[in-house]
A and B are shown apart, each in its own frame.
Chain A
Amino acid sequence: MTDAIVNPAKSKSELAIIIAGVARDPLGLIGLIIVGVIVFSAVFAAWIVPYDPIAMNIPDRMQGPPTAHLLGTDQLGRDTFSRVIMGGQVALKVALPAIFGAMAIGLTLGMIAGYGPKWLDNFLMLLFDTIRSFPTVMFALAVVALVGPSLQTVVFVVMATSIPTYGRVARTQTLTLRNSEFILAERAMGASIVRILSVHMLPNIIGVLAVLVAMDIPTVIALEAGLSFLGLGVKPPTPSWGALLKDGYALIRQTPWLVVGGGLPIVIATLGFTFLGESLRDVVDPKLRKNR
């Protein structure tokens, strides 16, 4: 085999190169650190929290920071700091399954659209365009109105609305790769469609999709928080950043620290994932810059 027909994604050290590339970029490094801290505190939340995040403690209610409670307490005397940490865990619990689910489905549909017959491509594209034409929050509200608020509803809405984005990118990548030399060589050697898609296409598309994932996580976190803020996301007393904002908003003159405690983590998490995504994109595929 000559260099021209070797699958370009099949070098082992690529992941290491990408991470090193992200860490070299100052913003990428900040993003990496923020994301690291969030993931760490979400995973070890149960050990980090000083108080039970859902235990009411009426005598201590509405205490401003800093007292025995680092970030004060809410109207039911629950510890804000503990709720912020637990809220991070909830945010990731919604965001990760939703995004990876959307990615898996979008990837499959996108590759089918890009590799399959033209009519199927047209049909899937129309479907994607239509789903994208629902304003996300409006769509979410419609679904919540129909099936009622819950964590699963949020996950479903996020999945449904992000599938088209992943599908489109996967399709474009598949279309460009479809006629590249190494795929043609595989086809000439009689490889099956499933093999071509899963073994050869996938590794080349996944890098681009990883960038989208990093960029999408903040959107999903914001959506979950938004719905919970409206009282249409995760149910009380589950601690969520959005629920903190809801409580803080209701009593904004008495417990403004709840608004800060719910709002800042969202801003910081969003910043972290965005920096990471931007930096990832520059490392993985500078050309993608224009396509989004």
Chain B
Amino acid sequence: MTEKLLEIDDLSVDYETARGDLKALRNITFDVNKSEIVGIVGESGCGKSTLISAILRLIAPNTRFRSGEVRFKGEDLLTASERKIRDLRGDDISIVFQDPMQTHNPVISIGQQMVDIQHRSKANKAEKRATAAKMLGAVGIPDPEARLSQFPHEFSGGMRQRIAIAMALMSEPDLLIADEPTTALDATLEVQIIERLKDLQRDFGCAILFISHHLGVIAELCDRVVVMYAGAVVESGTVREIFHHPKHPYTRRLIECDPGHIKERARVLPTIPGEVPDLANLPTGCIFRDRCDQAFERCAEVPPLTRLSDGQNAACWLNHAEEPA
């Protein structure tokens, strides 16, 4: 039995807004095992970012946790003290954020920022700088010693993202959360970063929660995948199962629409017709019903996320066809 590192259990999160509560996450459930790479995939606005900010409680003031638990090594983070959460941040759990251009403090040198985040270490300043330089070298920044004294704007976007990864891995975390780390970069850089992440994961042995809307990257990097749609998990399972035998119509459409999967050159990239439902005013029944070409009467009821085969779960009535209604 593999050891569970992070367990998201029935998590529901709302944003209080002037228009009423925005139901950003509803009954999210999935696990991340030790040293495992789990991908979360979904269109923008599906709640991926809310999910990661909820894990580390880096939340906007109008965020409300309605139900569920986020357990890290068995302890619920949602009810943990502020102190306890802060001890985890950047130590046991690290994050690489989406936009590398905005992620570092613009007026503090990279070296200083990398020394500052080692605030738990007892090492002296010179040792911390040496550690920082070593990490920069590990993510492939040439001449790391000299570049420590430079400022963020003196690095390219790809370099900044590698620096962000170096910073996140410096404390040798058990869990690395990567929030679309390659979205802001071009394709060549994307491949580089992914390769780098893979190598580093092998060396450091940390688990990675990798968020992306890019299926190709997920397939390349991850062991398991969680597919999210409009604030809910619609399907989860191993990369192999999900990509070869998707059990939810949304996953199927997502794969069909992925540019990497289109064999023939098409004039227009296929997209899923229809719009993501308004989270402040959710429709009844299955959330994908309005955009689903296989919808039938039973979809008026919300389908539960059901375990189908070993490791694969889906929330769709199509998989319940043989059972009596």
Q: Do chains A and B touch in the complex (CB under 8 A)?
A: no
Interface residues of B (CB under 8 A from A): none
